[in-house]
Structures are given as C-alpha cells and as structure tokens.
Structure 1
Amino acid sequence: MARFRRKKQENNALRELLSWVQIIVVAAVIAFILNNFLIANSRVPTGSMENTIMAGDRVIGSRLSYRFGEPQRGDVIIFRWPDDEKVLFVKRIIGMPGDKVTVRDGMVYLNDSETPLEESYIKEPMVAESPKSFTVPEGAYFCMGDNRNESMDARYWKNPYVYKNKILAKVLFRYWPGIKGIH
C-alpha cells in the first residue's frame, strides 16, 4: 500500500512538472509570435525624439500597420538605420516618396513651398545650418527626430532614405516611464 501511494505521488509530481513545462512552452511560443510578427518593442536611448519620446523610454509599435496601409507623413516609426541595418532607429516621417525636402533657415520646406512645414511636435526651433535639399526616391521616406538640434537623423546620414522594406513598425505608444500616446 505504501508503495502504491509513493508511486501515485511521483505520478502527480511528474504531471505537475509537465503541466508547468507546457505552460512555459506555450507562453514562449506566444511571445515569439507577438514579438516577431505583430509588435515591435524598442528602447529609445537618446533624446533625439524629445518631447514626444524621452531618452530611456520604451515604445511599442505595430508590425501590421504597413502591411495593410502605407506610411504617412508624421508617423513615428521603428526602422533599420540605412547606414548600419543592425541598428534600430525611431524617427518621424517628414518626406514621402517623390517629395523634395529642403531644410533652410532652421525650417523644413516641402516641394519648393514658400511656407514651412507646420511641426507642433518639435521640441524647439532648429538652429539654422547651411541649406540642404533631398529628393526622396520612390519606395523611400525621409525621417527626422523631433528634437532637431540633438538628432542624428537623415540630414546627416550617408544613406538618407529609409526604404519601406526596412520599416519594422509604426510606433503606437510609449510605456516607460509612463504611458503616452504618440501624436
């Protein structure tokens, strides 16, 4: 009788262990699918997107956003940096395919307009630099940080355009240190 109870206890312990292993495996598979196909989770290490996203914030992006729609001017995106695709960047889309983006006198102009782009999201006015002009190729985007005076963005990259196939996700919100929607 004692042997039977011991055997039953061993079977119960084994079932309990297998139950926990099954839960852990299922959770790992779900996390893998979410992180690789549905969402992108990224940390922003610098202040280049202040005040929209602060240095050290974490953001969640939707990997599905651009499978069913096109990127839009003003979207904040997570993408592979054109100068080193191992590095992920978070920036705002300023120039669309075919746009001419001109940066002069501390302002951004699109398509030879005399009126600068209205950018309520920038941290502070840009310090004026020598004028720069970029013509965005088809299938690509021109991206800048919201903290223009502290942003290493497309104005300074060797390869200034982000191609759609290098965009990982559209940023939906930041969740650390506090939840805030992206505008």
Structure 2
Amino acid sequence: MARYRRGRRKEHGIIRELLGWIIYILIIIGLTYLIITYVGQRTRVSGSSMETTLSDGDNLIVDKISYRFRDPKRYDIIVFPYKYEENTYYIKRIIGLPGETVQVTGGYVYINGELLESDIYGAEPMADGGIASEPITLGADEYFVLGDNRNHSSDSRDPSVGILHREDLLGRAWVRIYPFDQMGVIRHE
C-alpha cells in the first residue's frame, strides 16, 4: 500500500510540473503576441530609398506604441503598409504635417509657400515633384512623406503611395539591430 501512494505522488508531481511548463509556455506566447501587436515589430529595409540614413539590409525595431500617446512629428522616420502589396511595408520620413500645404518645386519642398530650409535629409534636389508639383493641402489627419534618397524613392509624390492618414502609420523606426557595427537608436531630427 505504501508503494501505491508513493507512485501516485510521483504521478501528481510529474503532472503538476508538466502543467507548470504548459502555463509558462502559454504566458510566453501571450506576451510575445502582445509585444508584436502593440509595442514593437522587427522589419528589414529593402532598397535604397532612405540612403544614407538607412541602408538596404538594415534590420530595425519599429516602435508601435509612442504614436498612441503623441502626434507624429516632422522628420520622424515612419513605417506604413504599402496598399497594393500584402506584407510589404515602406519606410519614409514625415515632411508635411496635418493642415499644411506642401509643394515640391525647383527640386525643393515648400511648406505653406516657404522653403523648408531645415530639411537636411534629402541627398539631392528632386528631379520630379510628382503629384506635389501642384500645392497639396493636407487634411486634419494627413501626412506627406519622402524618402531621403529623393530621386530614387516611391513616396507621397507618387500616386501609388500618396498622402498617408494617421491610421496608416504602423509606427516609428526606433532601433537598428543589424548590422551590428551600426546598431543603435535611429536619429530622427
């Protein structure tokens, strides 16, 4: 009879430990889901539209939570889904803010009719203003974005990208995690 009780205690101990591991794994899966959905996401830069700030092959962590507490600012580097291809995301820099009138003329950006002199990110004057050759007045929740490599970027000047709405912004590029020699927080201003 003593053997029988000891065997049952062993069974209960194994079952209890197994349940503990299952609960632990479920908690880890739940936390991972919450972090990926609401806090951050890894993304990879593909192409040269953000050169020299970001390069092809850079791996980034996107901060998905800060825009829940504050408005996007001029020069923030943001990530948004490309509307014509599933699971494709674009990375660009915010240039025009809600309520502003944006125009690209003579290769440069004008906000409300004045040259945006603080725009130090464009690698060169733009050859084509695209849809922004004519003034565009942004709505209450609209943003105008450009790539830093302006002549090699599909951005708000291109009708396939166009003007972004606040709800389109997945998040803000936060940290470069690869290549390791360039790892660190991404400069926005």
TM category, shorter: 0.7 to 0.9
CA contact (8 A) 2:77 2:91 kept: yes
CA deviations 1:22-45 (Å, max 9, x no partner) are: 222111100001111122322222
Alpha-carbon distance, 1:2 to partner? 7.0
What's the CA shift for 1:64?
Answer: 2.0
TM-score normalised over the length of structure 1: 0.83
2:72 corresponding residue in structure 1: 71
What are the superposed Cα offsets for residues 68-92 of structure 1, whole Å, 9 maximum, x if unpaired? 1111111111123355575322111
- Structure 2 vs 1, CA of residues 128 and 41 (structure 1 numbering), >3 Å: closer, same or farther? same
Q: Are the counterparts in 2 of residues 82 and 162 from structure 1 also a CA contact under 8 Å?
A: no
Is the 8 Å Cα contact of residues 110 and 117 (structure 1) preserved in structure 2?
A: no
Would you say how many aligned residue pairs link Structure 1 and Structure 2? 181
Q: Which moved more, 1:31-40 or 1:59-68?
A: 59-68
After superposition, residues 153-172 of structure 1 pair within 5 angstroms as: 153-158=155-160, 160-172=162-174
Matches within 5 A, 1:135-146: 135-146=137-148
Taking the aligned partners of 1:43 and 1:64, their CA distance within structure 2 comes to: 19
Query: What is the Cα deviation at residue 9 of structure 1?
Result: 5.3
Q: 1 or 2, which has the higher helix percentage? A: 2
Q: Note the residue ranges of structure 2 that are not aligned, 5 or more in a row.
A: none
Contact between 2:143 and 2:166, CA under 8 Å: does it hold in 1? yes
Per the alignment, residue 173 of structure 1 pairs with 175
Give, in whole Å, the separation in 1 of the partners of 2:46 and 2:129: 28
**Counterpart residue type for residue 147 of structure 1:** N
Aligned to 2:38: 37
Contact 1:104–1:128 (Cα < 8 Å) also in 2: no
Per-residue CA deviation, residues 62-115 of structure 1 (Å, 9 max, x unaligned), is: 2221211111111111123355575322111001112222222322222211x3
Structure 1 stretch 27-36 or stretch 6-15: which is displaced more? Answer: 6-15
Q: Is the 8 A contact 2:107 2:129 kept in 1?
A: no
Q: C-alpha displacement at 1:61, in angstroms?
A: 2.2
Question: 1:4-153 to 2 correspondence within 5 Å?
Answer: 10-82=11-83, 87-113=88-114, 115-122=115-122, 124-129=123-128, 132-133=133-134, 134-153=136-155
Distance 1:157 1:130, change over 3 A: closer
Name the CA distance, whole Å, in 1 between partners of 2:15 and 2:175.
43
Deviations for 1:109-132, whole angstroms, at most 9, x for unmatched residues?
22211x34333233x213523671
List runs of 5+ in structure 1 lacking aligned partners: none
Q: 1:81·1:162 contact (CA, 8 Å) conserved in 2?
A: no
Name the amino acid aligned to 1:175: I
Contact 1:173 1:180 (8 Å CA) reproduced:
yes
> Structure 2: which amino acid aligns with 1:80?
P
Letter in 2 for 1:129: D
Q: Aligned with 1:66: secondary structure? A: helix
Match of 2:186 in 1: 182
Distance across 2 between alignment mates of 1:54 and 1:12: 54
